[in-house]
């Protein structure tokens, strides 16, 4: 595979790789490094890419595994799984503070979720993958993906409701 073909094939989903890495590694710099490493690894496998049914799914799996390995490594002392936030520059300060507070609560709640639920929630609700793709990426049955997503959403919803209804009968 030539460089131009590779770029046309991989660049459309490069941002998804970055977002997943950012979601897992928190740090922008760590996510950029991870994305670059994955792109290098993909390039080193460019001759074998034709055998993969979905190169995007393969790359996402590589990214997930790389990031999880990075988190497990000894150098990763202060890295943890958290939800990344999108900031809209056109909102009032009050609205930004409220949004940051809500995101902060969701991050705390997600920190308490089991790893599999965090991953399914990220892939489905943030990255907008369909159930088949998630089941391939995480090596789960589609039914298990749906159940895991449902449980994760329920936990987040219940804890947010508890927070917002605290002290109200």
pLDDT of residue 75: 53
Phi-psi region of 119 (alpha: psi -120 to 50; beta: other; left: phi over 0): alpha
pLDDT of residue 54: 86
Write out the two tokens for 49: 């890419």
Q: Is 43 exposed, middle or buried (0-12, 13-18, 19+ CB in 10 A)?
A: middle
Using alpha carbons only, give the angle 93, 27, 58 rounded to the nearest 5 degrees.
120
pLDDT of residue 47: 81
The residue among 127, 140, 128, 132 whose CA lies nearest residue 53 is 132
Cα dist from 43 to 31, 38, 55, 132, whole Å: 18, 9, 12, 26
pLDDT of residue 11: 87
pLDDT of residue 168: 52
CB atoms within 10 A of CB 13: 16
pLDDT of residue 166: 59
Q: Which domains does the chain have, with CATH numbers?
A: 1-81 (1.10.1740.10), 92-169 (1.10.10.10)
The residue among 114, 121, 105, 112 whose CA lies nearest residue 164 is 105
Residue pLDDT tens, the chain, 169 long: 678 888 888 888 999 999 888 888 878 888 899 999 999 998 888 788 778 888 888 889 899 989 888 887 745 554 444 444 445 455 577 777 777 777 788 778 888 889 899 889 888 887 888 898 899 889 999 999 999 999 999 998 888 888 777 545 4
């Amino acid at each position: 595979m030539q460089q131009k073909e590779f770029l046309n094939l991989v660049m459309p989903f490069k941002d998804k790789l970055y977002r997943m890495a950012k979601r897992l590694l928190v740090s922008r710099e760590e996510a950029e490094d991870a994305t670059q490493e994955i792109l290098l690894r993909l390039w080193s496998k460019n001759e074998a890419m034709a055998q993969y049914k979905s190169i995007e799914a393969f790359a996402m799996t590589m990214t997930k595994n790389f990031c999880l390995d990075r988190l497990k490594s000894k150098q990763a002392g202060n890295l943890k799984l958290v939800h990344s936030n999108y900031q809209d520059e056109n909102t009032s300060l009050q609205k930004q503070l409220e949004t940051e507070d809500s995101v902060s609560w969701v991050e705390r709640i997600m920190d308490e979720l089991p790893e599999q639920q965090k991953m399914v929630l990220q892939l489905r609700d943030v990255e907008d993958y369909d159930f088949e793709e998630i089941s391939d990426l995480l090596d789960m049955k589609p039914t298990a993906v749906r159940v895991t997503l449902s449980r994760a959403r329920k936990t987040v919803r219940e804890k947010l409701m508890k927070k917002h209804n605290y002290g109200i009968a």
